[in-house]
């Protein structure tokens, strides 16, 4: 088997989330199943390849969503692509969120910006078997209300009895009735059972850093904080070296790590 | 598998053996070229020019098993004929142990590396003249191969002692019916003396350097050391050290796929080429964030990768002491000096 060769996937739908974030609903030619938190390599034919974590439910078998911010070469080209066009995907790679270790616990999700993408998948994973979790709390922060992804889904989530949702924006506009301030302020709004909870964090590096520090300050244990690490995984299978994080390869040992596993590695927030 | 067969073969017969190998294999061996010793493809025309340098060549065995650039989407890029590489050294073979761990280990085998590896036969030879930059002795190595070869050669007088290191090597000798005799004790003693002499030479060459009591601790606790910045001052970021290294394995996958508007018209093609942790863009992620922006960070990473990360995750030392990076460095950075500078002053 050739691990470097993608399978074809047709773009079934393009959803504009914000001015620079789109969700692409992909229909792979062959079935593609993944555990939430695992990532895939997406090829824009003739342009390049980049790693993304699916944002759709792991329970969904024949489609996979990827929510992508336009930041570099591959993503800019991808943003030009339309419905019915063809990309490549290979994977899934790495270790996802260990849902089974979270059963019976309070699950705190802390997301920032487009970091909500893997967390949406995770959340949908949780909601797919919601009775197995004691409590699900979602905290989400973005720069402005305009930058919120999954706007219509948030409306549903906010009504969902199984879910507590807190949102904040760095800079509010007239219509914003929720919290204003950096995402960590949300953590002061509720209490969790520290002996029986996990926290899952994903967002830009600076948000991950201060989010994690705040959680630690509040008494969360490093082994119960799960982080999705962003590195430039190229091969996805632990051979090419790009995603080395200390002694780990993010592609095979991660991308989900507990803070405890990586806290002594100097490069983690850079 | 331990095969203890050692034969003595007259030089003339050894040459006939190589000639016979040409009928079955692609043979690559060192020739003396204007720029020094270089691996060349061997034919009947240049067979007589094969030399057995007393020290490693600039190129390592890695070049033949993990080529600098290859297409990793088509099966046809794989070899038609098995290849015999003649004159590789103990350091090259040790480096292959490291590459094997990466490419053949883990959950997923790299099929391209595996094919090249399986289709390559390695004939190593001793290093009677280790170079000024060789330091295998400081990393537990020696200037002669003890394992990892199919055949190993030690030249003495008018002949060569041939150690059989694998079933493949054994079959090759038998099939090509080389005239040989079991090595006599007297000849083995000569070889031992020769080998001892090259070990002594290495010791002399490296007497100024010390990597501390335990090589496993050579970089431990030195992450914040000023040594990295000091040595990075002459680094020009050319990546020669990683490109010449026999055990560096990093690569970048690039996309050469044919785009298309229909499913059927899209064709995927991937090319991989060696990449280097010394290049600025190596760790850069989309959006521009880069944990190793400075030369010193990247220089340090190379040492941590080889002496700390690889030993702890793969149980391999990813440096074999071949010293090629010292020869290749534009900034005259000597890995032996860097590692010695990290140790407390004696």
Indicate whether A268 belongs to any domain: no
The mean pLDDT value for B32-37 works out to: 94
Q: In this predicted structure, what is the pLDDT of residue A50?
A: 96
Phi and psi angles of residue B255, each rounded to the nearest 5 degrees, phi first: -105, 125
Question: Do A146 and A194 lie in a common domain?
Answer: yes
Residue A118 CA, chain-centre distance (Å), reads: 2
**Among candidates A105, A7, A92, which has minimal Cα distance to A56?**
A92
Nearest to B305 among A72, A242, A244 (CB): A244
Mark which of A65, A93, A121 sits at the end of a domain.
A93
Cα angle value B170/B173/B176 (rounded, 5°): 140
Cβ density class B224-234: b for 16+ within 10 Å, e for less = eeebbeebbee
Question: Do A170 and A254 lie in a common domain?
Answer: yes
Output the domain CATH number for residue A34.
2.40.30.10
CA distance B342 to chain A (A): 19
pLDDT band at B78 (very low <50, low <70, confident <90, very high): low
**Chain A CB contacts of B223 below 8 Å:** 266
Residue A5 CA, chain-centre distance (Å), reads: 24
Question: Do A86 and A43 lie in a common domain?
Answer: yes
Q: How far is CA B10 from CA A22, B153, B182, B209, B292, in A?
A: 72, 12, 12, 40, 55
| Cβ <8 Å between B270 and A5 | yes
Three-state DSSP at B171 gives helix
Output the domain CATH number for residue A169.
3.40.50.80
**Among candidates B243, B196, B211, which has minimal Cα distance to B321?**
B211
Nearest to B73 among A5, A49, A240 (CB): A5
pLDDT digits (tens, 9 = 90+) for B228-278: 999 999 999 999 999 999 999 999 999 999 998 888 999 999 999 999 999
Q: In this predicted structure, what is the pLDDT of residue B76?
A: 53
| pLDDT higher than threshold 60 for residue B102 | yes
Give CA torsion, residues B1, B5, B11, B17, to 10 deg: -60
| Cβ <8 Å between A237 and B108 | yes
pLDDT digits (tens, 9 = 90+) for B205-236: 999 999 988 898 999 999 999 999 999 999 99
Residues 11..50 of B with a Cβ closer than 8 Å to A: which? none
- Report residue B29 as tokens: 């061996």
Question: Do A52 and A117 lie in a common domain?
Answer: no
* DSSP calls for chain A: --TTPPEEEEEEEEEE-SSSEEEEEEEESS-----TT-EEEEEETTTEEEEE---S-TT--S-EEEEEE--SHHHHHHHH--TT-EEEEEEEESB---HHHHTTSEEEEEEEGGGHHHHHHHHHHHHHTGGGSSEEEEEEEESSGGG-SSHHHHHHHHH-TTEEEEEEESS--TT--SEES-GGGGGGS----GGGEEEEEESSHHHHHHHHHHHHHTT--GGGEEEE-----SSSSS-S-TTEETTEEHHHH-BEEEHHHHTT-TTTT-
Mark which of A26, A58, A93 sits at the end of a domain.
A93
Question: Do A27 and A71 lie in a common domain?
Answer: yes
Indicate whether A114 belongs to any domain: yes
- Cα–Cα distance for residue pair B250/B240, rounded to 1 Å: 13
Q: Return the sign of the alpha-carbon dihedral for residues A52, A148, A190, A123.
A: negative
| pLDDT higher than threshold 90 for residue B287 | no
Question: Do A65 and A129 lie in a common domain?
Answer: no
- Cα–Cα distance for residue pair B57/A114, rounded to 1 Å: 50
CA-nearest residue to A46 within chain B is B257
| pLDDT higher than threshold 60 for residue B346 | no
- Report residue B14 as tokens: 């050894």
| Cβ <8 Å between A49 and B277 | no
- Report residue A208 as tokens: 């991950």
**Among candidates A71, A178, A78, A64, which has minimal Cα distance to A120?**
A64
- Cα–Cα distance for residue pair A64/A6, rounded to 1 Å: 14
Question: Do A61 and A112 lie in a common domain?
Answer: no
| Cβ <8 Å between A234 and B111 | no
**Chain B CB contacts of A207 below 8 Å:** none
| Cβ <8 Å between A86 and B308 | no
- Cα–Cα distance for residue pair B156/B163, rounded to 1 Å: 13
Helix (H) or strand (E) holding B226: none
Q: In this predicted structure, what is the pLDDT of residue B2?
A: 44
Indicate whether A64 belongs to any domain: yes
Question: Do A143 and A221 lie in a common domain?
Answer: yes
- Report residue A267 as tokens: 């490069």
Residues 6 or more apart whose CB falls under 8 angstroms from that of A213 comprise none
> What letter does residue B20 receive in the DSSP assignment?
H
Question: Do A117 and A88 lie in a common domain?
Answer: no
Indicate whether A267 belongs to any domain: no
Indicate whether A127 belongs to any domain: yes
Q: In this predicted structure, what is the pLDDT of residue B1?
A: 42
- Cα–Cα distance for residue pair A70/B23, rounded to 1 Å: 57
The ranges of chain A with pLDDT < 70 are none
Mean pLDDT, rounded, of chain A: 96
Residue B5 CA, chain-centre distance (Å), reads: 25
Q: Which domain holds residue A11?
A: 7-93
* DSSP calls for B45-101: TTGGGB---SS--SS-THHHHS-SEEESS-GGGS-SS-EEEEEE-HHHHHHHHHHHH
Question: Do A34 and A132 lie in a common domain?
Answer: no
Indicate whether A217 belongs to any domain: yes
Question: Do A158 and A214 lie in a common domain?
Answer: yes
Phi and psi angles of residue B182, each rounded to the nearest 5 degrees, phi first: -60, 140
- Cα–Cα distance for residue pair B14/B86, rounded to 1 Å: 12
| Cβ <8 Å between B107 and A237 | yes
- Cα–Cα distance for residue pair B159/B154, rounded to 1 Å: 9
Q: Is the Cβ of B305 closer than 8 Å to some Cβ of chain A?
A: yes
Question: Do A72 and A187 lie in a common domain?
Answer: no
pLDDT band at B77 (very low <50, low <70, confident <90, very high): low
Q: Is the Cβ of B257 closer than 8 Å to some Cβ of chain A?
A: yes
Q: How many CB atoms lie within 10 A of CB B318?
A: 25
Beta bridge partner(s), residue A49: A43
Q: Is the Cβ of B312 closer than 8 Å to some Cβ of chain A?
A: yes
Indicate whether A1 belongs to any domain: no
Give the ipTM of the model, two decimals please. Answer: 0.91
Q: In this predicted structure, what is the pLDDT of residue B79?
A: 65
CA-nearest residue to B291 within chain A is A270
Contact A67, A120 (CB under 8 A): yes
Contact B29, B87 (CB under 8 A): yes
Phi and psi angles of residue A157, each rounded to the nearest 5 degrees, phi first: -60, -35
Q: What is the 3-state secondary structure (H, E, C) of B239-268?
A: CHHHHHCCCCCCEEEEECCECCCCHHHCEC
- Report residue B247 as tokens: 């055990």
Size of interface A-B (CB pairs under 8 A): 133
Indicate whether A50 belongs to any domain: yes
Domain count across chain A: 2
End-to-end Cα distance, chain B = 43
Question: What is the Cα Rg of chain B in Å?
Answer: 22
């Amino acid at each position: 088997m050739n691990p470097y060769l993608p399978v074809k996937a047709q773009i079934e739908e393009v959803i504009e989330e914000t001015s620079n974030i789109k969700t692409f609903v992909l229909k792979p030619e062959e079935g593609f199943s993944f555990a939430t938190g695992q990532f895939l390599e997406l090829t824009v034919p003739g342009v390049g390849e980049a790693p993304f974590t699916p944002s759709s439910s792991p329970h969904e078998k024949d489609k996979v969503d990827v929510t992508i911010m336009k930041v570099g070469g591959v993503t800019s080209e991808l943003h030009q692509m339309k419905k019915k066009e063809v990309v490549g995907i290979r994977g899934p790679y790495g270790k996802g969120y260990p849902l089974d270790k979270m059963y019976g616990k309070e699950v705190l999700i802390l997301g920032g910006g487009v970091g909500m993408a893997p967390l949406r998948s995770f959340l949908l994973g949780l909601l797919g078997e919601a009775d197995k979790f004691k409590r699900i709390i979602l905290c989400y922060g973005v720069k402005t209300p305009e930058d919120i992804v999954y706007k219509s889904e948030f409306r549903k989530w906010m009504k969902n009895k199984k879910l507590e949702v807190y949102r904040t924006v760095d800079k509010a506009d007239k219509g914003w009735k929720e919290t204003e301030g950096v995402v960590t302020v949300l953590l002061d709004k509720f209490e969790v059972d520290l002996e029986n909870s996990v926290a899952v964090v994903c967002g830009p590096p600076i948000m991950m850093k201060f989010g994690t520090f705040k959680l630690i300050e509040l008494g969360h244990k490093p082994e119960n904080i799960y982080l999705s690490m962003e590195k430039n995984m190229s091969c996805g299978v632990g051979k090419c070296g790009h995603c080395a994080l200390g002694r780990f390869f993010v592609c095979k040992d991660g991308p989900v790590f507990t803070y405890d596993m990586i806290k002594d590695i100097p490069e983690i927030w850079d | 598998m331990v095969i203890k067969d050692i034969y003595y073969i007259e030089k003339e017969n050894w040459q006939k053996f190589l000639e016979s190998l040409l009928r079955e294999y692609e043979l690559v061996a060192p020739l003396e070229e204007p720029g020094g010793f270089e691996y060349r493809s061997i034919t009947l025309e240049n067979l007589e020019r094969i030399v057995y340098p007393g020290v490693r060549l600039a190129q390592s065995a890695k070049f033949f098993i993990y080529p600098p650039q290859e297409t990793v989407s088509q099966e046809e890029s794989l070899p038609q004929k098995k290849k015999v590489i003649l004159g590789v050294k103990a350091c090259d073979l040790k480096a292959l142990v490291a590459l094997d761990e990466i490419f053949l280990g883990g959950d997923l085998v790299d099929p391209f590396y595996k094919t090249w590896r399986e289709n390559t036969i390695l004939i190593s030879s001793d290093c009677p003249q280790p170079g000024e930059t060789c330091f295998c002795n400081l990393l537990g190595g020696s200037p002669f191969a003890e394992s990892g070869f199919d055949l190993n050669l030690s030249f003495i007088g008018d002949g060569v002692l041939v150690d059989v290191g694998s079933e493949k090597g054994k079959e090759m000798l038998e099939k090509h019916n080389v005239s040989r005799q079991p090595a006599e004790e007297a000849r083995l003693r000569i070889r031992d003396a020769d080998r001892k002499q090259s070990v002594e030479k290495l010791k002399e060459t490296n007497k100024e350097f010390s990597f501390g009591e335990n090589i496993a601790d050579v970089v431990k606790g030195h992450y914040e050391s000023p040594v990295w910045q000091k040595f990075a001052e002459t680094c020009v970021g050319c990546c020669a050290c990683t490109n010449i290294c026999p055990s560096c394995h990093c690569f970048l996958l690039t996309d050469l796929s044919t785009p298309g508007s229909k499913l059927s018209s899209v064709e995927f093609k991937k090319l991989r080429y060696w990449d280097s942790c010394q290049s600025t863009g190596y760790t850069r992620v989309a959006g521009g964030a880069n944990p190793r922006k400075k030369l010193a960070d990247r220089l340090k990473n190379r040492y941590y990768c080889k002496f700390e990360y690889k030993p702890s995750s793969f149980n391999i030392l990813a440096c074999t002491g071949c010293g090629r990076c010292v020869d290749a460095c534009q900034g005259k950075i000597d890995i032996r000096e860097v590692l010695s500078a990290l140790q407390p002053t004696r």
